[in-house]
Amino acid sequence: MNVLILGSGGREHTFAWKLAQSKQLENLYIAPGNAGTAQCGTNVAISATDFDAIKNLVWEKSIDLVLVGPEDPLVKGVHDYFLQDEVLREIPVIGPKKDGAQLEGSKDFSKQFMFRHGVPTAKYKSFTKDNIHEGAAFIDSLEAPYVLKADGLAAGKGVLIINDKDEAKHELQNMILNAKFGEAGNTVVIEEFLKGIELSVFVLTDGNSYKILPSAKDYKRIGVGDTGLNTGGMGAVSPVPFADEAFIKKVEEKIVKPTINGLLKDGIDYRGFIFIGLMNCDGEPSVIEYNCRMGDPETEVVIPRIESDFLDLLQGVATQTLHKKQFSVTPDIATTVVLVSGGYPEDYEKNKVVTGLDAVKDSHIFHSGTAFKNEEVVTNGGRVFAVTSFGKTIEEAVAKSFAAAETVSYDGKYYRSDIGKDLMNWKG
Ligand code: AMP
Ligand code: GLY
End-of-domain residue from the set 137, 157, 186: 186
Peptide bond into 285 cis (omega under 30): no
Whether the CB-CB separation of 410 and 217 falls below 8 Å is answered with no
Is the Cβ atom of 142 under 6 angstroms away from ligand 1? no
Same domain for 48 and 169, yes or no, is no
pLDDT for the residue 136 = 86
Report if residue 396 sits inside a domain. yes
C-beta of 288 in contact with ligand 1 (< 6 A): yes
Note the ligand closest to the C-alpha atom of 114: 1
46 belongs to a structural domain: yes
| 157 and 258 housed in the same domain | no
Strand partners, 281: 284
What is the enclosing helix (H) or strand (E) of 18? helix 10-19
* CATH code for position 56: 3.40.50.20
Query: Do 310 and 204 share a structural domain?
Result: yes
Tell me the one-letter amino acid at 401.
Answer: S
Closest ligand 2 atom to Cα of 218: 1
User: 177 near 132, Cβ under 8 Å?
Assistant: yes
| CA-closest candidate to residue 172, choices 134, 216, 115, 215 | 134
- Let me know: does 54 contact 46? Beta carbons within 8 Å: yes
Question: Angle at CA 195, nearest 5°, toward 259 and 249?
Answer: 40
- Has residue 357 been placed in a domain? yes
pLDDT of 425 reads 75
The verdict on 139 and 272 lying in the same domain is no
Q: How far is the CA of 85 from the centre of ligand 2 (A)?
A: 31
Which DSSP letter does residue 316 get? H
For residue 193, which of 231, 261, 147, 242 has the smallest C-alpha distance? Answer: 147
The CATH number of residue 221's host domain is 3.30.470.20
The verdict on 278 and 419 lying in the same domain is yes
Q: Kindly state the greatest CA–CA separation across the chain.
A: 61
Tell me, rounded to whole angstroms, the distance of Cα 121 from its chain centroid: 19
**Local structure of 92: helix, strand or coil:** coil
Nearest to 95 by CA among 152, 156, 11: 11
| pLDDT value of position 279 | 96
| Nearest listed ligand to the Cα of residue 292 | 2
Euclidean distance between CA atoms 247 and 122, whole angstroms: 19
**Residues spanned by the domain of 136:** 129-186
Structure letter (DSSP) for residue 423: G
- 114 Cβ contact partners less than 8 Å away, ≥ 6 residues apart: 120, 121, 287
Q: Is residue 123 part of a domain?
A: no
Do residues 386 and 416 lie in contact, with contact meaning Cβ atoms separated by under 8 Å?
no
Euclidean distance between CA atoms 107 and 103, whole angstroms: 7
112 in a structural domain: no
304 and 331 inside one domain = yes
- Report how far residue 231's alpha carbon sits from residue 201's, in angstroms, rounded to the nearest whole number: 20
Quote the pLDDT of residue 174: 87
Same structural domain for residues 379 and 401? yes
Do both 213 and 259 map to the same domain? yes
Same domain, 167 and 203: no
Residues 249 and 147 in one domain: no
Q: Which residues contact 289 (CB under 8 A, 6 or more apart)?
A: 104, 107, 110, 276, 277
> What is residue 427's predicted lDDT score, i.e. its pLDDT?
65
Q: Is 391 helix (H, G, I), strand (E, B) or coil?
A: strand
Q: Which ligand is nearest to the CA of 148?
A: 1
d(CA 296, CA 70): 9
| Domain assignment of residue 109, yes or no | no
Residue type, 17: W
Residue 218 Rama label (left phi>0; alpha psi -120 to 50; beta):
beta
Among 287, 288, 290, 292, say which to mutate for ligand 1: greatest number of ligand atoms within 8 Å of CB: 288
Q: What is the CATH number of the domain that holds 165?
A: 3.30.1490.20
Tally of domains within the chain? 3
Within a 13 Å sphere around the CA of 14, how many CA atoms are in the beta-carbon half?
26
Residue 350 placed within a domain: yes
Same-domain pairing of 82 and 151: no
Does 263 share its domain with 390?
Answer: yes
C-alpha 381 chain-centroid distance = 17
Is the Cβ atom of 342 under 6 angstroms away from ligand 1? no
Q: Is the CB of 71 under 6 A from ligand 2?
A: no
- The atom of ligand 1 lying closest to the CA of 195 is 21
> Contact at 8 Å (CB) between 216 and 238?
yes
Q: pLDDT in tens for each of the 428 residues of the chain?
A: 999 999 999 999 999 999 999 999 999 999 999 999 999 999 999 999 999 999 999 999 999 999 999 999 999 999 999 999 998 999 999 999 999 999 998 999 999 999 999 999 999 999 988 888 888 889 999 999 999 998 888 776 788 899 999 999 998 888 888 878 778 878 899 999 999 999 999 999 999 999 999 999 999 999 999 999 989 999 999 999 989 999 999 999 999 999 999 999 999 999 999 999 999 999 999 999 999 999 999 999 999 999 999 999 999 999 999 999 999 999 999 999 999 999 999 999 999 999 999 999 999 999 999 999 999 999 999 999 999 999 999 999 999 999 999 999 999 999 999 999 999 977 65
How many whole angstroms separate alpha carbon 185 and alpha carbon 153?
9
With respect to residue 116, please indicate whether it lies within any of the assigned structural domains. Answer: no
Strand partners, 272: 205
Closest CA to ligand 1's atom 3: 289
Q: Please, what is the end-to-end C-alpha distance for the chain in angstroms?
A: 46
Question: Which amino acid is present at 57?
Answer: L
CA distance 270 to 291: 13
